[in-house]
Amino acid sequence: EAQVTQNPRYLITVTGKKLTVTCSQNMNHEYMSWYRQDPGLGLRQIYYSMNVEVTDKGDVPEGYKVSRKEKRNFPLILESPSPNQTSLYFCASSLRVGAYEQYFGPGTRLTVT
């Protein structure tokens, strides 16, 4: 089944403790992206990747890192999480950017205390 998977689905952590949220797609998509969803703000893009080893900042990249060593994986790294990073995070992929449909993962709900 073609899909985007994320792990973990739920995470509660403390300020400053490094964490990684994994994202994987099995559709051989070139484009992958991370978003955060906050009430009243919709979805905001954190980072995106056009292909392997090609990543760039989105609208809200501060406090996040990403890597794209393989086409299928696009992990989101929070080196030192803070409470303002408490949010619902979505990974998405598409064949390319443009008129192509983006496929979303199920979301990861992160709470930083």
Partner 1 sequence: AQRVTQPEKLLSVFKGAPVELKCNYSYSGSPELFWYVQYSRQRLQLLLRHISRESIKGFTADLNKGETSFHLKKPFAQEEDSAMYYCALSDIQGAQKLVFGQGTRLTINP
Helix and strand counts by DSSP (H, E) for the chain: 0, 11
By CB under 8 A, the residues from 29 to 88 that bind partner 1 are 31, 33, 35, 40-45, 48, 50, 56, 58-59
**CB closer to partner 1 out of 81 and 93:** 93
Q: Is residue 1 a contact residue for partner 1 (CB under 8 A)?
A: no
- Is 90 an interacting residue with respect to partner 1 (CB under 8 A)? yes
Tell me the window of 15-23, 63-71, 72-80, 103-111 that interacts with partner 1 (CB under 8 A).
103-111
Q: Which two tokens stand for residue 93?
A: 């992929």
Shortest distance, CB of residue 14 to partner 1, whole angstroms? 28
To 5 degrees, how large is the angle CA 93–CA 101–CA 45? 50
| Burial call 42-62: b when 16+ CB within 10 Å, e when fewer | ebebbbbbeeeeebeebebbe
The answer to the question of residue 108 lying near partner 1 (CB under 8 A) is no
Instruction: Report whether 77 contacts 64 (CB < 8 A).
Output: yes
Q: Which residues bind partner 1 (CB under 8 A)?
A: 31, 33, 35, 40-45, 48, 50, 56, 58-59, 90, 92, 97-99, 101-102, 104-107
